[in-house]
Amino acid sequence: MKSFIFRQNPRKQQQEQNNLVDYSDSDDDEECNDDIFVNNEIIINVSEKSSKDYGLFIWDGSLVLSWYLFTLTKNNPQFWNGKNVLELNAGVALPSILLSKLGVNKIIITDRIDGFIEIQNNIIDNLNLNGFNINNNNNINDNKIFIEPLSWGNFEKFSNQLTSSSIDYLITSDCFYDNTKNYDDIFATWYYFLLKNDKLVILLTYQVRCNEKTIFNYLKKWKLKSEILSIKDISIPNYNIDSEIILIKITKNQ
Protein backbone atom coordinates (compact mmCIF):
# COMPACT_ATOMS: atom_id res chain seq x y z
CA MET A 1 0.00 0.00 0.00
CA LYS A 2 1.28 3.45 -0.88
CA SER A 3 -0.52 6.67 -0.02
CA PHE A 4 0.03 10.41 -0.44
CA ILE A 5 -1.40 13.27 1.59
CA PHE A 6 -0.55 16.78 0.36
CA ARG A 7 -1.80 19.52 2.67
CA GLN A 8 -1.69 23.26 2.96
CA ASN A 9 -2.98 24.66 6.22
CA PRO A 10 -5.28 27.62 5.42
CA ARG A 11 -4.84 28.96 8.96
CA LYS A 12 -1.11 29.46 8.53
CA GLN A 13 -1.03 31.61 5.42
CA GLN A 14 1.60 33.93 6.91
CA GLN A 15 3.79 31.05 7.99
CA GLU A 16 5.51 28.24 6.19
CA GLN A 17 3.09 25.81 4.67
CA ASN A 18 2.33 22.96 6.97
CA ASN A 19 2.63 20.08 4.54
CA LEU A 20 2.64 16.39 5.18
CA VAL A 21 3.30 13.49 2.89
CA ASP A 22 2.87 10.04 4.31
CA TYR A 23 3.77 7.12 2.13
CA SER A 24 4.53 3.47 2.55
CA ASP A 25 5.05 0.61 0.17
CA SER A 26 3.43 -2.76 0.29
CA ASP A 27 3.18 -5.75 -1.91
CA ASP A 28 1.93 -5.56 -5.42
CA ASP A 29 -1.27 -4.69 -7.03
CA GLU A 30 -3.26 -3.55 -4.04
CA GLU A 31 -5.39 -0.56 -4.76
CA CYS A 32 -4.47 2.52 -2.80
CA ASN A 33 -6.46 5.66 -2.25
CA ASP A 34 -4.31 8.78 -2.42
CA ASP A 35 -5.62 12.05 -1.06
CA ILE A 36 -3.83 14.80 -2.94
CA PHE A 37 -4.41 18.29 -1.57
CA VAL A 38 -3.63 20.67 -4.40
CA ASN A 39 -4.46 23.85 -2.53
CA ASN A 40 -6.48 24.99 0.46
CA GLU A 41 -9.73 24.24 -1.32
CA ILE A 42 -9.17 21.42 -3.80
CA ILE A 43 -8.88 17.86 -2.64
CA ILE A 44 -8.26 15.12 -5.20
CA ASN A 45 -8.72 11.47 -4.32
CA VAL A 46 -6.91 9.01 -6.56
CA SER A 47 -6.94 5.24 -6.69
CA GLU A 48 -3.96 3.62 -8.34
CA LYS A 49 -2.62 0.12 -8.84
CA SER A 50 0.97 -0.23 -7.90
CA SER A 51 2.49 -2.83 -10.12
CA LYS A 52 0.91 -4.68 -13.00
CA ASP A 53 0.08 -1.87 -15.39
CA TYR A 54 2.22 1.24 -15.66
CA GLY A 55 -0.83 3.11 -16.98
CA LEU A 56 -2.55 2.72 -13.61
CA PHE A 57 0.26 4.25 -11.57
CA ILE A 58 1.01 7.87 -10.64
CA TRP A 59 4.43 8.82 -12.00
CA ASP A 60 6.61 11.77 -11.03
CA GLY A 61 5.96 13.49 -14.35
CA SER A 62 2.22 13.50 -13.73
CA LEU A 63 2.70 15.09 -10.31
CA VAL A 64 5.02 17.80 -11.67
CA LEU A 65 2.63 18.54 -14.54
CA SER A 66 -0.35 18.76 -12.18
CA TRP A 67 1.37 21.22 -9.88
CA TYR A 68 2.48 23.34 -12.83
CA LEU A 69 -1.07 23.48 -14.17
CA PHE A 70 -2.20 24.62 -10.76
CA THR A 71 0.48 27.35 -10.54
CA LEU A 72 -1.02 28.95 -13.66
CA THR A 73 -4.00 29.93 -11.50
CA LYS A 74 -1.84 31.67 -8.89
CA ASN A 75 -2.19 35.14 -10.41
CA ASN A 76 -5.36 34.39 -12.36
CA PRO A 77 -7.77 32.00 -10.61
CA GLN A 78 -9.92 31.95 -13.77
CA PHE A 79 -7.02 30.93 -16.03
CA TRP A 80 -8.59 27.62 -17.10
CA ASN A 81 -12.15 28.89 -17.48
CA GLY A 82 -13.45 28.33 -21.01
CA LYS A 83 -10.41 26.30 -22.11
CA ASN A 84 -10.66 22.98 -23.96
CA VAL A 85 -7.93 20.58 -22.89
CA LEU A 86 -6.81 17.19 -24.22
CA GLU A 87 -4.72 14.85 -22.09
CA LEU A 88 -2.80 12.17 -23.97
CA ASN A 89 -1.36 9.08 -22.31
CA ALA A 90 -3.45 9.99 -19.27
CA GLY A 91 -3.09 6.86 -17.15
CA VAL A 92 -4.59 7.68 -13.75
CA ALA A 93 -5.56 11.14 -15.16
CA LEU A 94 -4.51 13.22 -12.16
CA PRO A 95 -3.92 16.39 -14.28
CA SER A 96 -7.33 16.04 -15.95
CA ILE A 97 -9.14 15.60 -12.65
CA LEU A 98 -7.40 18.70 -11.32
CA LEU A 99 -8.33 20.73 -14.41
CA SER A 100 -11.94 19.58 -14.12
CA LYS A 101 -11.99 21.19 -10.69
CA LEU A 102 -10.23 24.32 -11.97
CA GLY A 103 -13.04 25.20 -14.39
CA VAL A 104 -12.09 24.00 -17.86
CA ASN A 105 -14.83 24.12 -20.47
CA LYS A 106 -14.05 20.61 -21.72
CA ILE A 107 -11.49 17.96 -20.87
CA ILE A 108 -10.87 14.97 -23.14
CA ILE A 109 -8.97 12.20 -21.34
CA THR A 110 -7.28 9.64 -23.58
CA ASP A 111 -5.05 6.61 -23.38
CA ARG A 112 -3.96 3.78 -25.64
CA ILE A 113 -6.50 1.54 -27.36
CA ASP A 114 -4.76 -1.60 -26.11
CA GLY A 115 -5.91 -2.09 -22.52
CA PHE A 116 -8.23 0.92 -22.71
CA ILE A 117 -11.18 -0.63 -20.84
CA GLU A 118 -9.18 -1.22 -17.66
CA ILE A 119 -7.64 2.25 -17.83
CA GLN A 120 -11.05 3.81 -18.55
CA ASN A 121 -12.65 2.05 -15.59
CA ASN A 122 -9.89 3.28 -13.29
CA ILE A 123 -10.33 6.86 -14.55
CA ILE A 124 -14.10 6.62 -14.02
CA ASP A 125 -13.51 5.38 -10.47
CA ASN A 126 -11.19 8.32 -9.82
CA LEU A 127 -13.65 10.84 -11.23
CA ASN A 128 -16.41 9.38 -9.08
CA LEU A 129 -14.13 9.65 -6.05
CA ASN A 130 -13.91 13.38 -6.75
CA GLY A 131 -17.60 14.13 -6.98
CA PHE A 132 -18.18 13.79 -10.73
CA ASN A 133 -21.20 11.80 -11.85
CA ILE A 134 -19.60 9.33 -14.21
CA ASN A 135 -20.88 6.41 -16.23
CA ASN A 136 -19.53 4.44 -19.18
CA ASN A 137 -21.38 6.43 -21.85
CA ASN A 138 -18.67 9.09 -22.23
CA ASN A 139 -21.29 11.78 -21.74
CA ILE A 140 -20.17 13.11 -18.42
CA ASN A 141 -21.11 16.19 -16.44
CA ASP A 142 -23.01 18.03 -19.19
CA ASN A 143 -20.46 17.24 -21.91
CA LYS A 144 -17.56 18.57 -19.86
CA ILE A 145 -15.52 15.38 -19.42
CA PHE A 146 -14.89 12.72 -22.07
CA ILE A 147 -12.80 9.56 -21.93
CA GLU A 148 -11.64 8.32 -25.33
CA PRO A 149 -9.19 5.72 -26.71
CA LEU A 150 -6.24 7.15 -28.60
CA SER A 151 -3.08 5.41 -29.73
CA TRP A 152 -0.18 7.40 -31.11
CA GLY A 153 -0.46 8.00 -34.86
CA ASN A 154 -3.63 5.92 -35.26
CA PHE A 155 -5.63 8.75 -36.82
CA GLU A 156 -8.25 6.62 -38.57
CA LYS A 157 -9.54 5.47 -35.18
CA PHE A 158 -9.88 8.96 -33.67
CA SER A 159 -13.37 9.52 -32.27
CA ASN A 160 -15.66 12.32 -33.43
CA GLN A 161 -14.93 14.06 -30.15
CA LEU A 162 -11.23 14.17 -31.01
CA THR A 163 -11.63 15.22 -34.63
CA SER A 164 -14.29 17.87 -34.05
CA SER A 165 -13.08 19.57 -30.88
CA SER A 166 -11.04 22.76 -30.89
CA ILE A 167 -8.25 22.12 -28.38
CA ASP A 168 -6.50 24.99 -26.57
CA TYR A 169 -4.05 22.94 -24.49
CA LEU A 170 -2.67 19.46 -25.02
CA ILE A 171 -1.04 17.95 -21.94
CA THR A 172 0.92 14.76 -21.51
CA SER A 173 3.46 13.26 -19.16
CA ASP A 174 5.86 10.35 -19.27
CA CYS A 175 5.22 9.20 -22.83
CA PHE A 176 8.84 8.55 -23.86
CA TYR A 177 10.54 5.37 -22.70
CA ASP A 178 13.70 3.48 -23.62
CA ASN A 179 11.57 0.96 -25.50
CA THR A 180 9.44 3.53 -27.32
CA LYS A 181 9.99 2.27 -30.84
CA ASN A 182 8.85 5.23 -32.87
CA TYR A 183 8.95 8.70 -31.41
CA ASP A 184 7.61 9.95 -34.74
CA ASP A 185 4.17 8.48 -33.95
CA ILE A 186 3.98 10.71 -30.88
CA PHE A 187 5.11 13.79 -32.79
CA ALA A 188 2.71 13.02 -35.64
CA THR A 189 -0.15 12.95 -33.14
CA TRP A 190 0.88 16.30 -31.67
CA TYR A 191 1.23 17.75 -35.15
CA TYR A 192 -2.26 16.57 -36.09
CA PHE A 193 -3.74 18.75 -33.34
CA LEU A 194 -1.35 21.64 -34.06
CA LEU A 195 -2.63 21.69 -37.64
CA LYS A 196 -6.20 21.94 -36.34
CA ASN A 197 -5.26 24.91 -34.13
CA ASP A 198 -1.96 26.67 -34.80
CA LYS A 199 -2.25 28.45 -31.44
CA LEU A 200 -2.40 25.15 -29.55
CA VAL A 201 -0.03 24.90 -26.57
CA ILE A 202 1.45 21.52 -25.70
CA LEU A 203 2.70 21.03 -22.14
CA LEU A 204 4.89 17.99 -21.65
CA THR A 205 6.74 16.58 -18.67
CA TYR A 206 9.60 14.51 -19.96
CA GLN A 207 11.71 12.16 -17.88
CA VAL A 208 15.25 11.78 -19.18
CA ARG A 209 15.82 8.04 -19.36
CA CYS A 210 18.24 7.71 -22.24
CA ASN A 211 20.93 10.24 -23.15
CA GLU A 212 21.43 8.63 -26.54
CA LYS A 213 17.80 9.00 -27.59
CA THR A 214 16.20 12.29 -26.62
CA ILE A 215 13.22 14.19 -27.97
CA PHE A 216 15.15 17.34 -28.84
CA ASN A 217 16.33 16.06 -32.22
CA TYR A 218 12.72 15.19 -33.00
CA LEU A 219 11.57 18.68 -32.06
CA LYS A 220 13.98 20.01 -34.69
CA LYS A 221 12.94 17.37 -37.22
CA TRP A 222 9.25 18.31 -36.86
CA LYS A 223 10.15 22.01 -36.83
CA LEU A 224 8.38 22.65 -33.57
CA LYS A 225 9.12 25.52 -31.26
CA SER A 226 10.02 24.44 -27.74
CA GLU A 227 10.77 26.15 -24.46
CA ILE A 228 12.01 24.50 -21.29
CA LEU A 229 9.96 25.90 -18.42
CA SER A 230 11.40 26.36 -14.96
CA ILE A 231 10.07 24.04 -12.30
CA LYS A 232 12.25 25.39 -9.50
CA ASP A 233 9.26 27.13 -7.94
CA ILE A 234 7.12 24.00 -8.13
CA SER A 235 7.24 22.51 -4.68
CA ILE A 236 5.36 19.29 -4.20
CA PRO A 237 5.07 19.28 -0.41
CA ASN A 238 7.79 17.11 1.08
CA TYR A 239 7.70 14.81 -1.90
CA ASN A 240 11.08 13.95 -3.37
CA ILE A 241 11.20 13.65 -7.14
CA ASP A 242 13.86 11.03 -7.72
CA SER A 243 13.91 11.25 -11.49
CA GLU A 244 15.12 14.01 -13.79
CA ILE A 245 11.95 15.72 -15.01
CA ILE A 246 11.92 18.42 -17.69
CA LEU A 247 8.83 20.55 -18.34
CA ILE A 248 8.55 21.64 -21.97
CA LYS A 249 6.17 24.01 -23.72
CA ILE A 250 5.74 23.12 -27.41
CA THR A 251 4.06 25.23 -30.08
CA LYS A 252 3.92 25.36 -33.85
CA ASN A 253 6.39 27.61 -35.61
CA GLN A 254 4.41 30.47 -37.10
Which pLDDT does position 86 carry in this prediction?
Answer: 97
Interatomic CA distance for residues 89 and 151, integer angstroms: 8
Structural domain boundaries of the chain? 53-252
98-122: average pLDDT: 91
Which pLDDT does position 34 carry in this prediction?
Answer: 54
Lowest mean pLDDT among 16-20, 161-165, 194-198: 16-20
User: Phi then psi for 123, rounded to 5 degrees?
Assistant: -65, -45
Interatomic CA distance for residues 38 and 8, integer angstroms: 8
Average predicted confidence (pLDDT) for the chain? 78
Whether 26 shows a pLDDT value over 50: the answer reads: no
Which pLDDT does position 96 carry in this prediction?
Answer: 95
- Of 23 and 232, the one with more pLDDT: 232
230-252, pLDDT tens digit by residue? 887 776 665 667 678 899 999 99
CA nearest to 38, candidates 82, 80, 69, 15: 69
- Of 33 and 113, the one with more pLDDT: 113
Confidence of residue 137 (pLDDT cuts 50, 70, 90): low
Q: What's the length of the chain?
A: 254
- The CATH class of 53-252 is alpha beta
Interatomic CA distance for residues 246 and 249, integer angstroms: 10
- Strands 169-173, 201-207: pairing is parallel
- Classified as helix, coil or strand, 148 is strand
